[in-house]
A = this chain, B = another copy of it.
Amino acid sequence: MTSPYGLHRVVEPVGVLPQQAWRLDATPECGADEVLVDVERLNLDAASFRQLREQHGADVRRAVLEIVAERGKMQNPVTGSGGMLLGTVRAAGPRSPLGLKAGDRIATLVSLTLTPLRITDDLAGWDGTTEQVPCAGTAVLFGRSIAAVLPDDLSDELALSVLDVCGAPALTDRVVRRRAAESVLVLGGGGKSGSLSLVAARRAGASRLVALVPTEAEAGLVRASGLADAVVVADARDPVAVLEAVGTPVDVTVVCVDVPGCEHGAILATANGGVVVFFSMATSFSAAALGAEGLAADVEMLVGNGYVPGHAAFALDLVRAEPAVRALFEHRQTAQA
């Protein structure tokens, strides 16, 4: 009997959900409500990749292989985060509710932190310099997993890159519409989730968009894109600098900067009665909670849930419809390549 949450794949400790487990059973056999995937590429979470690079340097390939071999999944033991993967369905169980069939090329939209994974090529094709990892191996999806069939009209790189952060624009859209928010600040507005959040906020009706970026070079790119009404340069970790750069506090602040210590700047830049949405996995819960209290800030603070129904199609459509976003994504890919 298989569980839609994958409880039957948990080896250690028994009885917890796959994400909390230390170790999963990644045996490539397809249960009745499971989907078995031939993996083509892993897309590591940015915070995880950064940490692994900092800790292991050139040995990052070995570090990833060891984590997956030991844990049966790619979950960074320090950051707790994972990423996503791209592959082709090898088999779908008769009771799988995901609507996938053998041969579909897909991207998983659930985290690698709970996806049983086996690597069979020693990651021989990865040089360790980017978070996109060519990979041969197998992965397993559960009944409650989420996967998107890859579109024909966008390159894999672009589609994966968009799907990786597709929760951010969907939740930004929801928050801005619900609040009828006029002003929106995006910390890290030049990044992937940041640029998508800017365009989602614009389409949801926001009339004053501010992008905060770390360097003049990035500011130039974002200014040229036209995605924001104002582009300011400041260190997102410096609350006083953020407040001064932004000026008038905004209705909604979206945090897309994957470095620790951005909580207080986001809170200070948000008007009373406003909302802060934290998408960065580097967010500290206690820094956010105690920071708002210490600043007597009546702001609603949302944990950025990566799942919003329809988020994949929503994000892909934004990229199709907005050449400026597409250009920023492609520029990042070129810059990283």
A residues contacting B by CB (< 8 A) are 5, 7, 15-20, 79-82, 109-111, 113-114, 144-146, 167, 238-240, 261, 264, 268, 278, 281, 283-309
Residue on B with the closest CB to A6?
B294
> With A300-B305, A307-B293 in contact, is A286–B80 under 8 Å at CB?
yes
A306 cross-chain contacts in B, Cβ below 8 A: 289-290, 292-293
Partner of A296, one of B146, B283, B291: B146
Shortest A322–chain B CB gap in Å is 24
| Pairwise interchain contact B15-A294, C-beta atoms closer than 8 A | no
Contact B238 A15 (CB under 8 A): yes
A302 to chain B: closest CB distance in Å? 6
CA distance A153 to B178 in the complex (A): 42
Given contacts A144-B295, A144-B296, A293-B167, contact A264 B305 (CB under 8 A): no
When distances are taken between beta carbons in the complex, the residues of chain B under 8 Å from A278 are 285, 303
> Do B240 and A17 touch (CB < 8 A)?
yes
When all copies of this chain in the complex are counted, the total is 2
CA distance A111 to B289 in the complex (A): 10
Chain B residues, Cβ within 8 Å of A304: 289
Given contacts A81-B286, A299-B305, is CB(A294)–CB(B110) below 8 Å? Answer: yes
> A307 near B286 (CB under 8 angstroms)?
no
Give A309's nearest chain B residue, CB to CB.
Answer: B298
Say which residue of B79, B240, B285 sits within 8 Å of A303 (CB atoms).
Answer: B285
In angstroms, Cα B291 to Cα A301, docked, is 18
The 10 closest A-B pairs by CB, nearest first: A293-B306, A301-B303, A144-B296, A292-B305, A114-B294, A285-B285, A80-B286, A293-B307, A283-B285, A288-B303
Closest B residue to A76 by beta carbon equals B286
Query: Which of B144, B294, B298 makes the CB contact (< 8 A) with A111?
Result: B294
Min Cβ gap A85→B in Å is 14
CB distance from A167 to the nearest CB of B (A): 7
Q: Which residues of B contact A81 (CB under 8 A)?
A: 286, 290
Which residue of the partner chain B has the closest CB to A3? B240
CA–CA, A35 to B236, complex, Å? Answer: 31
A20 contact set on B, CB distance < 8 A: 261, 264, 287
Besides A7-B240, A113-B294, A296-B307, 10 other A-B contacts (C-beta < 8 A): A5-B268, A15-B240, A17-B291, A19-B287, A20-B287, A109-B293, A145-B296, A293-B306, A297-B307, A301-B303
- Pairs across A and B, CB under 8 Å, 7 listed: A17-B291, A19-B264, A81-B290, A110-B294, A289-B303, A296-B307, A298-B308
